[in-house]
Amino acid sequence: MQIPDIDLKDFDYELPKEKIALFPLEERDQSKLLIADCKSKKIEHSIFSNISDYLPDNSLIIINSTKVIQARIFMSKQTGGKAELLCVNPISPSSDPQITMSSKNSCVWECIIGGRNIQENSRLFTKDNQLSAKILKRYDNYAVVEFDYSSSYTFSEILSKIGQIPLPPYINRDTTELDKDRYQTVYSRMEGSVAAPTAGLHFTDRVISKLKEKHILFDEVILHVGPGTFVPIEKSVAEHKMHKEQLFVSIATIENILSAIKNKSKIISTGTTSLRTLETLYWVGVKIFYRNFDIHSNLLLSQFEPYQLSHKYQEISFEQSMIAIQEKLLQEKRSFISGNTELFILPGYQIRTADGLITNFHLPKSTLLLLISAFVGGSFWKQIYDEALRNNYRFLSYGDSSLLMR
């Protein structure tokens, strides 16, 4: 397996603290928009409400309609000491967040845990006793936690009462009521994320209407974003453990992508999460095409698997890959494909699925910045980021936006 040799120093830049957006703008679609043409290296500036001016008619925009859950829970030990839990991955009654969020009485989650001397079999309680938790297993800063609560409520309803929106670690402030609305896209619907697909935060109903007037279509994927998206690369790319995230894509979305390819329409990915999902789909299609891969099994694309597959098999097109998935789903009488991805998109990786990417501005030396470099090619990301810094763009989750066209 050949992993690209990456020197992280080449993906560093100075990000002044004052450039990090700590709060959202008053109006979502008034964020700045940097438009970059990756072929001509031309850069323009506008505002997000004008994005329809920069997208070709009949494009297909892929959005990630995951919904951020109020996954941060403050609790107390029986001794009165403080504890904090962040629900990350549902375990029981299902690994599907939709099922577990709808459960009553009890459920089990993998959580990130904070607090002193919280051991296995410890019990935790919320201030109003609406929710209790038992630590079933403890490892590092993670724990398997069983929650108990009233059968009158679903776990989703419990979290909406007592949980908080888990803002990114670089937004170092308490959450507010505003965050419940603004750290959520206007089209979010499937609960399961602990971080927002932030490229979508700029969309408003007004912007969507303007895009649809140009016969631009929308379709959705689901990628439940985990806290691993914020984990820095400590040593090297080869040693970094990429986070695993759960995805769901319907056969209708596959068919709409195929229609866009057939009609030579531009495919625009809203955010790195949508792009990782599309690229994961491509490699799943490759495995079906060459191996008749069983999508019933616990589908997982491991972080470096594409680099191995690209050496093992002859290249197929995105269209061929999507046809392979479509035929497999029809054959098995399934309406959607689900699984997990750890895909690590590095500089030098060949993007096969999207012509454009809507995305915010990301941390230095982060996995997301490496993805941006792969998308725009070479060192063009530096020119884009220098331009954004010179023009006082706001960075990171609540920051401004860019449209990158290949």
DSSP 8-state secondary structure symbol assigned to residue 364: T
Q: Are residues 125 and 204 in the same domain?
A: no
Domain CATH number, residue 398: 3.40.1780.10
User: Is residue 226 within 8 Å of 89, Cβ to Cβ?
Assistant: yes
Q: Count the Cβ atoms, other than its own, within 10 Å of residue 278.
A: 24
Q: Is residue 2, in this structure, part of any structural domain at all?
A: no
Buried/exposed code over 36-51 (b: 16+ C-beta within 10 A; e: otherwise): bbbeeeebeeeebbeb
- Domain finish residue from 163, 196, 230: 163
User: Is residue 58 within 8 Å of 263, Cβ to Cβ?
Assistant: yes
Q: Is residue 300, in this structure, part of any structural domain at all?
A: yes
pLDDT(297) > 70? no
Domain that residue 253 falls in: 8-67+184-405
Query: Could you give the percent of the chain with pLDDT greater than 70?
Result: 99
**pLDDT (tens digit per residue) in 151-199:** 899 999 999 999 999 999 999 999 999 999 999 999 999 999 999 999 9
Q: Between helices 271-291 and 318-331, what is the axis angle to 10°?
A: 70
* pLDDT score at 1: 53
**Cis upstream peptide for 93 (omega within 30°):** yes
Q: What are phi and psi of 214, to 5 degrees?
A: -90, 15
Strand duo 401-405 + 356-359: pairing: antiparallel
pLDDT(2) > 70? no
* pLDDT score at 154: 97
* pLDDT score at 369: 98
**pLDDT (tens digit per residue) in 233-291:** 998 999 999 999 999 999 999 999 999 999 999 999 999 999 999 999 999 999 999 98
Band of pLDDT at residue 84, cut at 50, 70 and 90: very high
- Domain finish residue from 163, 192, 215: 163
Domain CATH number, residue 82: 2.40.10.240
**pLDDT (tens digit per residue) in 131-155:** 999 999 999 899 999 999 998 999 9
Q: Are residues 298 and 226 in the same domain?
A: yes
* pLDDT score at 3: 74
Mean pLDDT, the chain, whole residue set: 96
